[in-house]
Structure 1
Amino acid sequence: MRPIFPLLALLLPTLAQAWGNHSPMCYRAFERMPEVANAAPVTAEPLVDFLRSQEAPIAALLDGQEAASREHLKTYAPRPEALRFTADARRSDADRRAALLRALRLSPQSRLALYLQPDPREPDTQRPPLDAALVTAVKPGAGATQRFIALSPGEAVAPLAVLASACDEPDYGHDLNLFDDNPGHPGYGFGRQPFGNPAVAIGSQAPFHMGFFHQGAIFDMLAPGFTRSFVEMRVMQYAGLAQLAWRSGHAYWGWRFAGMALHHIEDLTQPYHASAAPGATLGRMLWANLQAGLGAAAELHGLVVLQGNRHFVLEKFQTNWILDDARQRRDGPLELALRDASRDARYPAWGWAYARDVVAAEAHAAGPATDAAVVAGAPARFVSDPGLDFAADEARYGPELERDTQGRHPALQRQVAELLGHFGAHSRNALRGMLKEAGKSPR
């Protein structure tokens, strides 16, 4: 019996991205962290250089991760044996790269190019922009804020820039269409998509970027598919590769993979990624679903649209605020919250269960207050009218929303600043944990 599955199958595809562009926030979160700020420049190198040098250690690492995932992740989908990464010095670099993508079960379309996303406070005006299609397999939407420049092999680059750029990278198509019921799936053994609409491409990445770990026993019983999240798997994969890269002298890829791991941690700090519907009780979800089953779908449709709209409003409000401050080189509540290292010690040390038991639990608990702040802080038209659907026409409503939210409501400001305080603290704690486990200075 899964009475809320149809509701969430419609609800979640519009919420596959958590914070819009992670990179501007990560520049602020790490720019004063000594382990990052004081790290020596690293040398950019193509991925295949790292793979060719460390082929056997990577094979051993991925085998160990597979065993750990099978032991620790209750709903894990075991990796098919045919996808196992093995050392083979005779194969081409292209085949070696493709083998890594298969073993990690990342999209074959993943770019993993040499690039940076410059700090919007310090835009690089000397180099031409890099075509987004060379960096991301996802066509940028009307409101996309990412701007890319190319790196050359052998170029010296600051670890902060590598890390902050990579913090946004998993949204560039790494996790699209990987399930057996997705169009053109690569046969990775994940089974059917557990939540989200398998026919909507961007929604197919949801189970890799969301974790509904704290909905409660009744929810889990009625909708067991929603307990299947692959966030922890991605964190483990990227963090392990980062540590191997640091230990083996490939510091560029150490910082790069660390940023990718942090992306999934940061996604879980977003309440709409850790709670199925922060603005609705389980009773309301069940009632809406029951009515829809009886042919009266208005309540269900309204709930779906409003949850999606509120998530979109929060993301756009936060993104616009961060970028506006960056372009003005202005420090406001968000910047101060992102840098606030005094928060870091409030949480337990980094470990296997940190993403689930600390990050997602905190975000789930913040869900109702966040939803209420969005409703109070944005024009009612955007957050309380189920007749307005952002997903249907983002190009039209995005600029209109930006114009109508110029007067920032204090309650929404405070809540966004609090959430970004969580974002910064958990990002630093996770990075410290990775560096410690690497057992060697990232220099």
Structure 2
Amino acid sequence: MRHFLFMLALLPTLAKAWGNHSPMCYRAFERMPEVANAAAVRAEPLIDFLRDQDAAIARELDAQEAWARAHLKGHAPRPDALRYTPDAARSDADRRAAFLRALRLSPQARLALYLQVDPRDPDTARPAAETSQVSAVPNSKGATQRFVALQPGEAVAPLAVLASACDEPDYGHDLNLFDDNPGAPASPSYGFGKQPFGNPAVAIGSQAPFHMGFFHQGAIFNTLAPSFARTFTELRVQQYGGLAVLAWKTGHPYWGWRFAGLALHHVEDLTQPYHASAAPGASLGHMMWVNLKAQLGAPADRQGLVVLQGNRHFVLERFQTNWIMDAARQRRDGPLELALRDQALDKRYPPWSPAYVRDVVAAEAFAAGPATDAAVVVGAPAKFVTDPNFDFAANEAQLGSELARDMQGQRDALQARIAELLGHFGAHSRNALRGLLTQVDSQKTR
């Protein structure tokens, strides 16, 4: 069992699901009445919300932790030393640090005032903001984000706030939070223990357990690899979602939309099959077989499985990102844009609830895993997705144009598969937002 766990620990090393959430969220929400018709809001520094709602935030975070302990499987209880307590006398810096500790976010999380510009409407009149002002993570190869700074009190459309925040948790919120990460927070520990999967020595990989959810692997898999059940996507959805409701109902609409976007990011990540399955292109039997061979002295197939799953994930993400960005820059609607906006899909799913992330979003993506993996294999250049000696991530910057040019004959099938997945992305995002807005309305009527 120990060797099987070692192999599995290597598989999900990619923390990002979709290349850039914001362009997709602009399309998913731009015709949703609750967003499109919402009044402009005033940009507000985080510390203003924290100061104004100090006691209410403390109550909200305590209620969230109590709920998580009672309802979330595999929850890692928050250490009592991290509890947020009201204190009118503390400095703004101490208040902000206490808030991040209570949420168990990275101390490096920026939460600055910014927008990510819609590539369909680049708004070149605004000066660009440096990535380091917005994100604790340097730009990756082929990054498509363009940031602009907001000034306190500046009027801004809720769509822009929401769509921008939908990409934000990838900017370093969940890095190095486990006890065995090199940059783990100093004492007291955040209480998450050792990293349950992925490589704890790789910083970007340390966020994987907050952006993946392997809820449907089956009893045998769960017995062999129980640590895979320790994922914290549901926790983040509840934390950010609860803060969004609090902000909306207490007169801080900017942070209502901002926290809502942060919550939606974690929902959207689980619409990606490579984030809902440990290895969607491999059966449990195959994983056990290649692991047995490795134990007998032939590790090549096991390492090849790790490389191929990573390559296919990268290819899907890069192809989808290029397609979305090209269409946006040309202000062209195609299959992806139509799928993202298709509100007829929303009613095919049950109403939003705390179980929706696990029972609806992750279950659907897990079921879509084999077909998605097969579509990537037949739709992308063979060397990218079938050669275990080729590392796509290491060559991504040089291969972007080649990937776009040299697609195989089944490219249409891959495009259709991505469009279907982004239909799920849009529908689940809207259903989650409706769920949060409904909570605001219900609390106002009590």
Q: TM-score, normalised by structure 2?
A: 0.97
Is residue 30 of structure 2 the alignment partner of residue 4 of structure 1?
no
Contact map agreement 2:277 2:366 (CA 8 A) in 1: yes
Residue 116 of structure 1: SS of its match in structure 2?
strand
Structure 2 unmatched runs, 5+:
none
The aligned length equals 441
Structure 1 unmatched runs, 5+:
none
2:29 alignment counterpart: 30
1:220 alignment counterpart: 222
Deviations 1:54-96 (A, max 9, x none): 0000000000000001001121111011100000000011110
1:99 alignment counterpart: 98
User: Pairwise CA RMSD of aligned residues?
Assistant: 1.4
Deviations 1:367-419 (A, max 9, x none): 00000111111111111111111233333333432332498811001100000
- The residue type paired with residue 385 of structure 1 is D
Shift of 1:9: 1.8
What is the alpha-carbon distance in structure 2 between the residues aligned to residue 108 and residue 408 of structure 1?
45
Contact map agreement 1:179 1:191 (CA 8 A) in 2: yes
- The residue type paired with residue 125 of structure 1 is T
Residue 439 of structure 1: SS of its match in structure 2?
helix
Bigger mean CA deviation after superposition, 149-158 or 379-388: 379-388
- The residue type paired with residue 5 of structure 1 is L
Contact map agreement 2:378 2:408 (CA 8 A) in 1: no
1:430 alignment counterpart: 432
- The residue type paired with residue 203 of structure 2 is A
1:287 alignment counterpart: 289
Provide runs of 4+ in structure 1 moved above 6 Å: none
What is the alpha-carbon distance in structure 2 between the residues aligned to residue 327 and residue 441 of structure 1?
41
1:318–1:105 Cα change, 3 Å: same
1:237 alignment counterpart: 239
Aligned-pair identity in percent equals 75
Q: Which of 338, 341, 344 does residue 343 from structure 2 map onto?
A: 341
1:165 alignment counterpart: 164
What is the alpha-carbon distance in structure 2 between the residues aligned to residue 393 and residue 411 of structure 1?
25
What is the alpha-carbon distance in structure 2 between the residues aligned to residue 39 and residue 302 of structure 1?
50
Equivalences for residues 11-410 of structure 1 within 5 A: 11-13=11-13, 15-186=14-185, 187-405=189-407, 409-410=411-412
Shift of 1:302: 1.0
Residue 369 of structure 1: SS of its match in structure 2?
helix
What is the alpha-carbon distance in structure 1 between the residues aligned to residue 175 and residue 405 of structure 2?
32
What is the alpha-carbon distance in structure 1 between the residues aligned to residue 408 and residue 303 of structure 2?
29
Contact map agreement 1:163 1:255 (CA 8 A) in 2: yes
What is the alpha-carbon distance in structure 2 between the residues aligned to residue 405 and residue 178 of structure 1?
39
Contact map agreement 2:379 2:409 (CA 8 A) in 1: no
What is the alpha-carbon distance in structure 1 between the residues aligned to residue 406 and residue 329 of structure 2?
20
- The residue type paired with residue 279 of structure 1 is G
Residue 371 of structure 2: SS of its match in structure 1?
helix
Shift of 1:25: 0.1
What is the alpha-carbon distance in structure 1 between the residues aligned to residue 145 and residue 389 of structure 2?
30
Shift of 1:142: 1.7
1:407–1:138 Cα change, 3 Å: farther
Contact map agreement 2:3 2:295 (CA 8 A) in 1: no
Q: TM-score, normalised by structure 1?
A: 0.98
